[in-house]
Structure 1
Amino acid sequence: MHKQSVGELKQVFLRHLPERMTAIDDVWSSLTSDDWDSDKLFRLFQRIQDLAGASSRFGLVRVSETLYSMEAYLGTLLDTDRKPEMEVISHLSESLMSLHDAVDELRQKKTGADKGKGCLLHYLRHAQDIVPSLIQTLEAENCQVLTFNQPDDLVGELEKKLPDGLLIDCHLLAQLKPVFDELERLEQRGIERPKLIFLSRSNELELRLQALRIGATGYFTSPFNIPNLTGKILQLVKPDREKTYRVLIVEDDPSQADFAAAILRKANIETLAVTDPLKVMDILDQFRPDLILMDLYMPGANGIELTSIIREREEFVSIPIVFLSGEQNADKQLDALSVGGDDFISKPIRPRHLVTTVNNRIQRARHISSAQPTPNQRDSVTGLHTRRLFFTQLDRQLVSASPSAQILGVFYVGLGNLNEIRISTNETQIIRLLGQLGSRIAGLIEPQDMAARNSDDSILLLANRPHKNNLEALAEAIRKAISDTPFEIDGLKLRLEASIGISFNNEHDHSSSEMVTRSSLASANAQAAGGNRTVVFSEGRHVQKKNTQTSDIPLEKLVRKSLEENTFQLVILPLTSTEQQAGIFHELLPRIRSEQGETVPAEQILQTAKRIDRLSDVERWLCGEAISILDERRHEGRQTNIVIHQSAASIEDMGRLQWIRDQLRRRQLVGTGLHMEFDLADLAFDLKRSKAFIRALREMGISISLARFLGNDAAFKVLNYLGANFIRLSKKLLNSEETAIAGISSKLHESHIKIILPRVDKSDQIAPAWIHHADIVQPDLQNNSGKS
């Protein structure tokens, strides 16, 4: 499901919702009026489950909550053939009535978006429509589309009201003179002409040139991908200027800097002027510009020197740098460009030239950045290869056509006690530890081998040797190098425990994910056996594990497919605040339906996504869904709080912060109800970076929760350093003594930090004192508390 078509699909869903409700009513009526039938019950359960996933996907919060509650309740009845007690049937009937109320509320609302907030397009099309479903897709994206078959009719409408854009079938290109005469008259009166977008059945260069010469903003040829085409049209006619461009002006003359800044601000470009070139590097980290406008000749450091220094920083390699100077010597201009400059603007500055150059350079840089990502091939901490490169190399070897006399082995090196070490060390020490670890491993392997950092606490290794015992000997040498000799960091002697699992290809047709999964299972068995040992994956010794792994392989495909086609379901779980004025809270979780109809729970999805290096993509999807729901609820006039869990991987996702900022700004949602939750232990490995990330989120108005909070001194120390708004208790604390509960609660509340209770199946799994002291709980806990 493409992002551009979500609006259209939602309208289709709403249109057919009454029919689906009727089908649910029919099954329920049949189930309760006849003899209790387990097949009918399962059919009802499936219908409820399907509807719950779809309604949450489209942000229908109340409908989704009611359906999910019914799904959970029905799920408890599936294992029995007996008709439930009347109290249970009555409860389900009431839930069904609540569901009808929620659906009726949707019907009463104005479906579709407010046209006044969208865009107006005039579509001059041939009798045979070149893109049959384009109009409906645009209308689903809040665009009003007026169609015309004759240029003269279009001219008459242009005289009444100007659209944001003109869509024109290239088949009518030769008949457009009256249209362009009218557009020229508008320009002579100082009125900006609408964007011209051409749709063509042909790739002929001559047609494209004609369109370009008459001012085409966009030109698209068949075959058309409708969602992609819709998105590109919308971006052309209504460019997202919420994404304000940011330009850093480096100019030692304040008057020149102010002049350039004034010009750019008039063009809705955010600027920051720096008159001391020696402060540029510090400001770059804070301002994060889209482009640097730099004087060539400055005291202290000239533009060429600064550009050389800036280009040494990996994160600033691709940022456009445009020089400002009165220098007319072509050789000196070339010298300036040769060190990494992108363009040259001569003084005195011409406003139109400056704005055009800045806009074009930023747009081109963004296009290149999104179209051609170039991930690093080395992990910056360990110095080993990246996981992505490891899988690429493993895939290459597994599909190699040439037979090899060597045996291929994959090692999974699990570092079982690394999280414990993190608690008693700081982030700099952990980085040094991992750096030394990478050096030790690199020193033991051959040039043709490949070692990669897999996760925070595991390393992958790919090696080929003549015999299996050679590979086992290598694994044992690596284990001893890691475990037998302590790592000396700042006077500390730190010992890592390595549990190594090995899988051999054995001339079988295994995929790369199978190989890694097998070695990880062997590593888990090594850890379970006491750790600090090497285990070879064996079919006989891992029968139970092997079955689990076999089911994981299709799950990996399912997760990838759900990401590619955007077919995740969304579970919306209610949370209750103990404060009357705190508003409504919901927690969002991802869910997938397998081809067999089984639901895959969130924890399993996230574990699989992490294993296949797609966790960041799943978390972005979840974040995007949360923001969409908040946007919709705001338009309904309902203040809502959405809690989503994000991993430490989001901190390593270099573009995540800007992506979140763009999503919020586009909908003007800064500070309106988004809560992000991170595991406290996960953030402890890099506290400084985590703090900067959290600070940036809080500056956007996002509240922070730290999960698995243990309530000990170390946890409070990390909490105070990171600065969160909420904590979610570790389940280890749920049955604490009342005095301990009161002490932890008091300490948190004194720091104005609110307490979220972890979800439990039964209320007796949690001490009543926690329910009394907590700020946010699942509804049934509060209800039980109120009855007691």
Structure 2
Amino acid sequence: MATQLSQQNSEAELQASFRQHLPQRLRTLLRRARAQCRVGWDCNVLRSLHDEIGQLAGACGRYGMLETGERLLALESALAPAVAAREVPDAATTAEIDTLLDSLRPHLQQVSPGPGLPAWMQEPPPSAARAPFPRCEMPPAGYWLQLGIVDASVVVEMAAAANEAGAPQSDPPALPEHPRGPRVRIVNDDDPLVNELLLRLDQEGCDVALVERLDGLLEQLRGAPPDLAVVIADGHTALEQLSAALREARRDPAHRVRLLVLLRASDIELRLRALRAGADRCIALPAAAGETVGAALELAIVDEESPYRILIVDDDAPQALFAQAILRRAGMETRVMGESLPVLDELDRFQPDLLLLDLNMPDCDGFELTALIREREGYVNTPIVFLSGDQDEDRQFAALDAGGDDFLMKPIRPTHLVAAVTNRVRRARAAASRTRRKRRRDAATGLHERMQLLDALSEHLAASGGYAAQGGLLAVDLDDAGALCERIGLNAFDQLLTQLGDFLLKRVRAGNMTARHGQAGFLVFSPLRGEKELLALAREITAAADDERFGTQALAVRLVCAVCAFDAATSESAVALAAVEHTLAAARVQPERIAVHSALAPDPNALAQRISAALAHGSFDLAFQPVIPIRGAAGPHYQALLRLRHGERELTAAELIPAAQRAGYIAAVDAWVVERCIGILAQQQREGDPVCLFVSQSLQGWEDPERRAQLAARIAAAGADPESLVLEFRCEEARNGLRGLVELAPALKQAGVRLSLAGVNADAVGAGWIDHLPLDFVKLAPDLADAELEEVVRNAHSHNLRVIAPRIETVARAEHLRAASVDLLQGNHFRAPAAALDHPFPGNEA
């Protein structure tokens, strides 16, 4: 009964939230559709509107708003033929759509509970009636909860007292307002993500509302600042005005207004503008709703958490009490200790968010105490801030080297101390929250959520930098699941899958993630196990399952397993999942019901056949990634990236190049890319807007001497500047074919092109490659340590080579590399060419 009431209450909360925000969603929808009717239809916007209207109509029907739902369904039906035909509506259809949009205007007002609710819910609660109460009746069970009132005992007691007295009563005391969460204000925008964000944050208990323009947000910042502001920004957004208002609102360090900026463009310049305006987090659009909601909640709930716990360790009692008084006034919970060694026993009792240490103490100084604290596993990442009057810079650096996070000098201004402590604790809590969320398991089953597993998988593959990532996937599927479900029923089938998940978790060791996959399967992501280990685990699981009985009916089941170790072609999670499905299909026909992806014979749709067909029909494509000069060089630079569309997927170079090498097509693929890039360079030069293109090539593709000899002639015939073409070879390949590269490089230089070597690290420098190859650029290997980075950059600059840093995704990383004297940055920001590669390059954008 309690479970049913909880479900009813949850449904009522969702219903109330939807009704509250529906008028605003309809206004946004009408504005977008009106704009299309006036200026002409765009196919992508048309499909987006059609899908959004369908979802909104379904929700209206679900929550009893039948008339609004019917009008939305009529509008969806009017759009459907054009969407199905992949055309835009004609004049007659546009006029019909315009009329249907007018019919929605009466529904833009705040919606009443409506006919879809029981009659008793459409009446006001007794506490809202005119006083004195005409009569006091007890409402149905759960009434107050469904209206958003948590504690109705006050109303119940008033009702009982009124019935007993039978006399007129004075005005009832006001009910305690239903507590709301953090105040979130979102600047309205046509992006559908705004509506999704609005609804999801409201469901999470936030006090969320839209403001129509940025001016409205600025007024709120000057009056009653929210806990979180959300802004969608592009190059025209007045972020400078927002910055001034935000600085003023943040003068109180105990209540810091946070700012989430959703970027319409993913270039570094816009991200920098947002960060300079005071953004706490920037997310490039398009982005998944889950990621955006998670980031908003992470920022919004900071001040909703328990007070910050600060452990102050200082043998100077007046100084310690001074710091304690300042931090307590800022709302923090503090504890002071005058001796060092007892701190180790106090850590687990107090569980501080941050330790504020003096440097010079008699029994154990700050260096030694920090080292002891860092030895404890639970306090490896706990912020440690030194507050000392020691002006010796060497000792200050030594304190940081011992494991400290910051060093503050005495005497210190109170606002400085509060800000330093607050920022450190806020970031530490946010990082811990993010880690917990990524690794959160379902309380009932012990499994991870599928999206968590896919996020972790994507991060793992992205960190490999184009090389073969460690680890792999193991898929476990229930054979003949459909027939089994029909035979035993849905409830029994669900119980069987729950028991099967528990069976897998007992055999999948720590360090792996396990989630449901498909209708009756599970996916295990192992970041460290190779193919042999995953195969052994698959055999262990299938053998154990044959001896086990599952479900309430103690049934024997058959499991099939797919082992997919990551290789160089596994560039993203979609590729890995496609490999899993292909391997599972093969496993179902194997005698032991296990298949290994690397051992599968090529199927008719293998990459080799697709590449052959693309070469025959010229159906490859190129994408362009900006390479941004930050020192010296002028003019736009781009990396040309090979792409091939296959159905709904777009194959990347990381998948295509290894397959082309194995099939013997690499020379033809490389020649196609170079030929197309020469054409683009010539066209840009004729139009007076020259660019420089970096083109990845393989040594195998240049083994033909005739191709080397023809390069200069091809460039001259096209009318392109040979120096605008940079041919790039990879260190990984050069290690096995250095002699070939040494012979090839001078021949290419004779054609006037420039050369780049990618994946350069200290080993390549030590081997003398930079000394002996006629290079113009070197591209750094990913994630170099600072010492190695400094050595490579210094050596490259001594040979007058320009240094490129690839895969830049954060402003902090870009600033770090700029300080290290890197010349160009290559970030994960893509430009797709227009039809026939007639791509209008910008002048010099990120």
TM-score (norm 2): 0.33
Higher radius of gyration, 1 or 2: 2
- Larger relative contact order, structure 1 or 2 (CA cutoff 8 Å, min sep 6): 1
